[in-house]
Structure 1
Amino acid sequence: MKLKILMLAASMALLASCGPSYRVTNGSTVAIDVPASVRTTFTTAYPTATDVVWTMYDATVLPIDWDLTGWAAMDQSDYVVTFTMNGDKYYGYYDVNGDWIGTAYVITDYKSLPAGINTMISDKFPGYSIVAINREMQKDRVAYEIQLKNGNSKAKLLVDANGNIIKQKTVNK
C-alpha cells in the first residue's frame, strides 16, 4: 500500500513538472504576485510563449518614449512580461486590471521589413543607417519604431507597415 501511495505521489510530481513554467520576479529575484486576470489575458493571447518572466514596470529599467508610441503611460502598478515566441524575444505590457496595453519585439532582419518602410527610409533619410527596429502591436494598430543615425544626427520614427510616418523625433548635433 505504501508503495502505491509513493508511486502515485511520484506520478503527480512528474505530471506537475510537465506544465508551462513561469518565473515571477521584481528584478531582485523577489517573487511578485501576478493577478490571475493578467496571466489569463497573456496565456490566451500567447499560448505558445516560453521563457516567460513577469516583472513590475520600472521606468528606470525599461524606459519607454510614451509620446512616440502613443500607448497609455504605465506606472509601477503595471506588469511587464518577457517571453520567447518563434525564436524572437517579446515584451508584453499589461495594466493592473489585466488589460493588454501592447506587445513589442526587436526586428533583427531588416530585409524582412515591409517594402514601404525600406522605401521611406531610403527616400526620406538618405545616408542614415538603421540602429534598431521594434515592431509594436496595440489593440488598434501595428507600428514600427525605428531608430536611425547619420553621423551625429539621429531620428526616431513611428511608422505604419506602408512606411507612413505616424510620429517623428529628430536630433541634430
Structure 2
Amino acid sequence: MEAVIKLYSLGYKQAKTYLAAALFTLGNMIVPQLCHTVHMGGPTWLPIYLFTLIGAYKYGWRVGLLTAIASPLLNSALFGMPALSSLPAILLKSVLLAGIAGYTAHRFQKVSVFLMLVVVLGYQILGALGEWLLKGDFYLASQDFRIGIPGMLIQIFGGYLFVKYLIHK
C-alpha cells in the first residue's frame, strides 16, 4: 500500500508559512555548517539547497521562496559562507529551485524520484546559465556539474525521502 502524501500551497497570510520557512532556513544553516567542516564540503554536497527543495515541494513556492532568500543571506551574514562574490549566483539558483519545486509539486500533486530529478536538473541547468551570464565564466558556472554531483544526488533521493516519508503533515 502506497503512503498518501499531502502537498500544500501555503499563502503569505498564514503563520504556518513563516514557521515552516524559519524551520527550513534553520536546516539550511545547520547542514552547511556541518558540510563545511570537510574540505570542499560546500561545493561537493550543495547543502544550502536541500531544505529549500523540501520546503518548496511540500509546502509550496512561497515557503520555498522565503527559505531560498533567507538561507544564503543569513549564512553569509553570520558565517561568511557563501562568500559575497558567490551570493548572487546562489540566490539565483535558490529562487529557481523554489519556483521549479513549488510548480512541479502543484502541477503533478505527487512526489517521485523522477520529479525530483527534473526539479534538480531544472534549477541546476537554468542556474548554471544564469551564473554564466553573471560571472562570464562557463567553467565556474558549471562547477556544480563538475563537483556537486553527490549533492545533487542527495537532493534527489534525500528530498524524495523527506517529502514522501518523513514529513507526514
Asked which structure has the greater CA Rg, the reply is: 1
What band does the TM-score fall into relative to the shorter chain? Answer: under 0.3
TM-score by length of 2: 0.23
